[in-house]
Amino acid sequence: MAQPVIEIRQAVTSDVATIADFNIALCRETEGRELNRVTVLEGVRRFVSEPARGRYFVALIAGEVVGQTAHTFEWSDWRNGEIWWIQSVYVHPLHRGHGVFRALFAHIKQLGEMDAECCGIRLYMERENDSARQSYLCLGFSETGYEVLELLFSGTESSTSGVGHEFG
């Protein structure tokens, strides 16, 4: 069977509801909890409309959004450049295993390689997600000696499992 044609583009306002739904599904799948849809919708809306925060990209097959990822910016004074953090990785279950994330990542990697400010790409993931780990290692990522810790302020969604796979 032939691989589907996957189109990648930067997310636009009309993608906000789908991205929010995918983020809610992502949290449900990886952490077993429900996010507040109104909060997620507003968060995605702000992210898409304020490109200084980062960018969402969506993958389309036959015009339907089937996957997403975002990247944010971290300034590295050690490298005098930006590290792009991959976040909010989600592929609809019916389209997994067909190269959707690979296409999304290849697009972001190409943009990063062409951007003189970008000096690398990082991501974080749920510790126990071995299939994601293998996928990321196959794409050229390497494990680091770093652990991700967080301190969330009152009124924000918190992770029950420490480091989340929610990427955002």
3-state secondary structure of 59: strand
What's the mean pLDDT in 81-101? 96
Domain annotation for the chain: domains and CATH numbers: 6-138 (3.40.630.30)
pLDDT at residue number 157 = 62
Q: What is the pLDDT of residues 134-144, one digit of tens each?
A: 989 999 999 99
Q: What is the pLDDT of residues 56-77, one digit of tens each?
A: 999 999 999 999 999 999 999 9
pLDDT at residue number 87 = 95
Q: How far is CA 132 from the centre of its chain?
A: 12
Give the mean pLDDT of the chain.
Answer: 91
pLDDT at residue number 163 = 40
pTM: 0.87
